[in-house]
A and B are shown apart, each in its own frame.
Chain A
Amino acid sequence: MSVRTLRIDGRDLAVPEGTTLLQAAREAGIAIPTLCHLEGLSPVAACRLCLVEIEGTDKLLPACITPASEGMVVQTATPRLQDIRRTVVELLFTEGNHVCAICVANGHCELQDLAVTTGMDHSRLPYRFPARRVDLSHPFFGLDHNRCILCTRCVRVCDEVEGAHVWDVGWRGEHCRIIAGLDEPWGAVDACTNCGKCVQVCPTGALFHKGDTTAEKHDEPAQLQALVHARHHQQWNP
């Protein structure tokens, strides 16, 4: 396998061909924030948090899908990128209704973590307080649209790993929301196998186990990654 050498944040790295900038950076212990990305699911490059600067181009490129190429010089945390990331987090907070203090995911929420790491202690943009619903029709799980950031991890895991395709994105633009079946109550959708993978990969408290109360939800992406690895490579980690 051929190797690509590149420089990320001043560090010279050598990675196998086909490695993404995100993988290369993480291998080297350089943290690039992500939200829609999840190892094991197809990338969508939608959250724009992992945008990085690359010498020789004005365009910011998403690290999650940009392959490392020979001689690349990458910056992952310039002041410009840091301001962009903070603004992305502000845009997310203002378009939903995120109240950490009473959320099942408080303390274990990727959005909350990002607010901390980007220094988003208040929003410079006005909160929009949209009217969103909560779906408690499923016997085991709940979906609180107020906390959904439309990362589509649930859509992808249900389609790509479970194969049930219960979820999809409905409508458009600011009216987008995750839908089950024909925009029905989750509990009414026959296709659901109750596997709970969508809950596991949800980065916020939008999808949760019924009965969980404040700060009790932990997302468990490692389980998914083990599953995908086992399926692809026929290797288990008992």
Chain B
Amino acid sequence: MSGILRVCTAAGCAGCGGSALREQLGAVIAAATTGDPASGLALKGVGCLGPCGEGALLELESASGRRLFGGITPEGVAAVAASLANLSPGTDLGTWAPPAARPIDLEQPFFRLQKRLVLEHCGRIDPESLAEALAAGSYGQLRRVLQENRPEAVIEQVRRSGLRGRGGGGYPTGLKWATVARMPGPEKVVVCNADEGDPGAFMDRSVLEGDPHRLLEGMAIAAWAVGASRGFIYVRAEYPMAIAHLRTAIAQAEDQGLLGAAIAGSAFGFQLELRVGAGAFVCGEETALIHSIEGQRGVPRPRPPYPAEVGVFGLPTLINNVETFASVPPLLAIGAEAYAAIGTTNSGGTKVFSLTGDVRLAGVLEVPMGTPIATIVETMGGGAPDGHAIKAVQTGGPSGGCVPANRLDTPVDYESLQELGSIMGSGGMVVMDDSTSMVDVACFFMAFCREESCGKCIPCRSGTVQLHLLLQKHLAGEADAADLAQLESLCHMVKDTSLCGLGQSAPKPVLSTLRHFRGDYLALLRPEPEATPEPVP
């Protein structure tokens, strides 16, 4: 019997039986190996296998191909392990059907329509093994660019690829790199924003947990290209497994001379440090993130100066998010032109999304930029379950908006989503079915922004509270037309006057639902009192 068993041990699956499954299958295989040293069964704990809603997940790979099984519950784990133990040594793994597990068709659109570059190794390799990462090709691009020794050529490749900031802003990555590279001074810093705080977004978590070396390689290439010798990964504390895998990966890479001094035998050195947040969404804003790395309150400051000029410790600083850095090795591997050709004219390459909410197949997927939203949520995700129809798709989290069902043909790229009053954001996509009240959704996001406001500027600190109160008044059926007008005008005021992105975009979920679902608000208004006739004087 030979083959590979991959158990998804990412945070989603680990909690619903993945960890136990890995442990018990490991015991079975260890026992079998003792009796039969020639046994060719290998067990791997891997990062996200994709359809997180179906966990726990087990993938079997043998000569007859790959098969995926889901729906394994903590209670069912023992049965799966017992069944594996009872297989006769001659059995082909390809014929084994684990009990209490549901086969998942790997040919369905969810898998077939993906284009996996960032997630290339995610779910394939053991994220805690540098050997497996190296065997899969990690650090190959870093070695190559160091050998060729032309940093400006790397920046040019990134520029030509059309890669734009995957954290949501969509700023051209090559341009950002070139700006930092041009800054004078011997010391520069590279920062990875791994503070993935949008509720409903977990793309970056999948990369950090499933293939941390890809991020480290991308950061090292960036550091070398812009002339930085220090780096920080700022990761949110809510991701304990990502933190553990990053710590392991950094230690392994340092040990093998792929981080630290004289990388891969070159003169280039790069000291990478992990900084763990402590629960503050606003730290995803880059100036707040800088303050937090410096050990201060995560409070934003006005820009300019931009971090490229004045960043961490006052040094020129390059800040990109996880997916942006992780896109660099594959884009260099396939070449800028090939990468650009994958996406649209203005947005090159692929984008990772996390699909959740009222959708049949929830999980993490990677598609070419420009893929219509309908393809993602309906074709790949299977649409809304239980006979409901999709009402809206929320993109961009608390800084984004809701795309109505009749606009799901919109391609996912930065400009198209912006035109609809939403944003690409970091890639969270929450599907809402026809039972959803859009006022409730807007109120949810406003409560979030109220809680996460840092309190520095008045429009955000006090305005989000008033907006939240107004939305609650609507939900309680106590609002009238004047309240609705006030809601709208205060939204514009907070958007126009807040100091940072959090406050400026906090009203967006309200404004976008007002634009596309005004009926939901009007239906909640208190009926106007009958006009009383003017008293006769």
Q: What is the interface of chain A, defined by CB distance below 8 A to chain B?
A: 44-48, 51, 60, 62, 65, 83-84, 87-88, 91-92, 94-95, 124-126, 128, 149-150, 169, 171-176
Looking at the assembled complex, report how far the CB atom of A196 sits from the nearest CB atom of chain B, in whole angstroms. Answer: 26
Q: Which residues does chain B contribute within 8 Å of A173, judged by CB atoms?
A: 450-455, 461, 464
Tell yes or no: B469 within 8 A of A by CB: yes
Q: Are A84 and B496 within 8 A (Cβ)?
A: yes
Q: Are A46 and B453 within 8 A (Cβ)?
A: no
Map CB proximity to A onto B425-465 as digits: 1 under 8 Å, 0 otherwise. 00000000000000000000000001111111111011111
Q: Are B455 and A150 within 8 A (Cβ)?
A: yes
A48-B458, A87-B490, A150-B455 known; A174 vs B465 contact (CB < 8 Å): yes
Select one of A60, A125, A171, A175 contacting B466, CB under 8 A: A125
Q: Are A172 and B455 within 8 A (Cβ)?
A: yes
Return 15 A-B CB contacts under 8 Å, by A number: A46-B458, A48-B499, A51-B497, A60-B496, A60-B497, A88-B459, A91-B458, A95-B465, A128-B465, A171-B455, A172-B453, A172-B455, A173-B452, A174-B450, A174-B461
Closest residue of chain A to B482 (Cβ to Cβ) is A124
Q: Which 4 A-B pairs have the closest CB atoms?
A: A176-B455, A91-B462, A173-B453, A95-B462
How many B residues, CB 8 Å from partner? Answer: 28
Looking at the assembled complex, report how far the CB atom of B448 sits from the nearest CB atom of chain A, in whole angstroms. Answer: 11
Closest residue of chain B to A44 (Cβ to Cβ) is B456
Q: Are A62 and B465 within 8 A (Cβ)?
A: no
Q: Are B465 and A48 within 8 A (Cβ)?
A: no
Q: What is the interface of chain B, defined by CB distance below 8 A to chain A?
A: 280, 297, 301-302, 450-459, 461-466, 469, 486, 490, 493, 496-499
CA distance A176 to B460 in the complex (A): 12
Q: Are A92 and B496 within 8 A (Cβ)?
A: no
Q: Which residues does chain A contribute within 8 Å of B453, judged by CB atoms?
A: 172-174
Q: Which residues does chain B contribute within 8 Å of A124, judged by CB atoms?
A: 486
Q: Which residues does chain B contribute within 8 Å of A45, judged by CB atoms?
A: 301-302, 457, 499
CA distance A92 to B465 in the complex (A): 12
Q: Which residues does chain B contribute within 8 Å of A172, judged by CB atoms?
A: 280, 453-455
Q: Are B455 and A91 within 8 A (Cβ)?
A: no
Having A65-B302, A87-B490, one finds 17 other A-B pairs with CB under 8 Å, namely: A48-B498, A60-B496, A62-B302, A84-B493, A87-B493, A92-B458, A95-B465, A125-B486, A150-B455, A150-B461, A169-B297, A169-B455, A171-B455, A172-B453, A174-B450, A174-B462, A176-B461
CA distance A51 to B493 in the complex (A): 12
Q: Which residues does chain A contribute within 8 Å of B452, judged by CB atoms?
A: 173
Q: Which residues does chain A contribute within 8 Å of B457, judged by CB atoms?
A: 45-48
Q: Are B458 and A47 within 8 A (Cβ)?
A: yes
A173-B454, A175-B455 known; A91 vs B466 contact (CB < 8 Å): yes
Q: Are A94 and B455 within 8 A (Cβ)?
A: no
Q: Which residues does chain A contribute within 8 Å of B498, judged by CB atoms?
A: 48
Closest residue of chain A to B467 (Cβ to Cβ) is A125
Q: Which residues does chain A contribute within 8 Å of B497, judged by CB atoms?
A: 48, 51, 60, 84, 88
Q: Which residues does chain A contribute within 8 Å of B297, judged by CB atoms?
A: 169
CA distance A217 to B69 in the complex (A): 74
Looking at the assembled complex, report how far the CB atom of B227 sits from the nearest CB atom of chain A, in whole angstroms. Answer: 28
Looking at the assembled complex, report how far the CB atom of A220 sits from the nearest CB atom of chain B, in whole angstroms. Answer: 24
CA distance A238 to B203 in the complex (A): 65
A62-B302, A87-B493, A126-B469 known; A94 vs B458 contact (CB < 8 Å): no
CA distance A88 to B458 in the complex (A): 7
Q: Which residues does chain A contribute within 8 Å of B301, judged by CB atoms?
A: 44-45
Q: Which residues does chain B contribute within 8 Å of A169, judged by CB atoms?
A: 297, 455
Q: Are B486 and A91 within 8 A (Cβ)?
A: no
Q: Which residues does chain B contribute within 8 Å of A94, judged by CB atoms?
A: 462, 466
CA distance A171 to B451 in the complex (A): 11
Looking at the assembled complex, report how far the CB atom of B2 sits from the nearest CB atom of chain A, in whole angstroms. Answer: 56
CA distance A87 to B459 in the complex (A): 9
Closest residue of chain B to A93 (Cβ to Cβ) is B462
Looking at the assembled complex, report how far the CB atom of B269 sits from the nearest CB atom of chain A, in whole angstroms. Answer: 35
Looking at the assembled complex, report how far the CB atom of A33 sits from the nearest CB atom of chain B, in whole angstroms. Answer: 13
CA distance A88 to B463 in the complex (A): 9
CA distance A44 to B457 in the complex (A): 9
Closest residue of chain B to A86 (Cβ to Cβ) is B493
Select one of A91, A126, A174, A176 contacting B459, CB under 8 A: A91
Looking at the assembled complex, report how far the CB atom of B474 sits from the nearest CB atom of chain A, in whole angstroms. Answer: 14
CA distance A129 to B491 in the complex (A): 22
Q: Which residues does chain A contribute within 8 Å of B466, judged by CB atoms?
A: 91, 94, 125-126
CA distance A128 to B461 in the complex (A): 13
CA distance A83 to B465 in the complex (A): 19
Select one of B280, B302, B455, B456 contacting A174, CB under 8 A: B455
**Interface hub of A48, A60, A62, A175 (most chain B Cβ within 10 A):** A48
Looking at the assembled complex, report how far the CB atom of B403 sits from the nearest CB atom of chain A, in whole angstroms. Answer: 24
CA distance A47 to B461 in the complex (A): 10
Q: Are B463 and A91 within 8 A (Cβ)?
A: yes
CA distance A172 to B280 in the complex (A): 10
Closest residue of chain A to B463 (Cβ to Cβ) is A91
**Interface hub of B451, B457, B499 (most chain A Cβ within 10 A):** B457
Closest residue of chain A to B280 (Cβ to Cβ) is A172
Q: Are B462 and A46 within 8 A (Cβ)?
A: no
Q: Which residues does chain B contribute within 8 Å of A95, judged by CB atoms?
A: 461-462, 465
Q: Which residues does chain B contribute within 8 Å of A87, judged by CB atoms?
A: 459, 490, 493
Looking at the assembled complex, report how far the CB atom of B470 sits from the nearest CB atom of chain A, in whole angstroms. Answer: 9
Q: Which residues does chain A contribute within 8 Å of B463, judged by CB atoms?
A: 91
Q: Which residues does chain A contribute within 8 Å of B462, judged by CB atoms?
A: 91-92, 94-95, 174
Looking at the assembled complex, report how far the CB atom of B292 sits from the nearest CB atom of chain A, in whole angstroms. Answer: 13
Looking at the assembled complex, report how far the CB atom of A127 sits from the nearest CB atom of chain B, in whole angstroms. Answer: 11
Q: Which residues does chain A contribute within 8 Å of B456, judged by CB atoms?
A: 44, 46
Q: Which residues does chain A contribute within 8 Å of B451, judged by CB atoms?
A: 173
Closest residue of chain A to B454 (Cβ to Cβ) is A172
Q: Which residues does chain B contribute within 8 Å of A83, judged by CB atoms?
A: 493
Looking at the assembled complex, report how far the CB atom of A88 sits from the nearest CB atom of chain B, in whole angstroms. Answer: 6
CA distance A88 to B493 in the complex (A): 9
CA distance A125 to B458 in the complex (A): 14
CA distance A173 to B462 in the complex (A): 8
CA distance A125 to B466 in the complex (A): 7
Q: Which residues does chain B contribute within 8 Å of A149, judged by CB atoms?
A: 458
CA distance A93 to B457 in the complex (A): 14
CA distance A48 to B460 in the complex (A): 10
A84-B493, A172-B455 known; A46 vs B465 contact (CB < 8 Å): no
CA distance A174 to B301 in the complex (A): 18
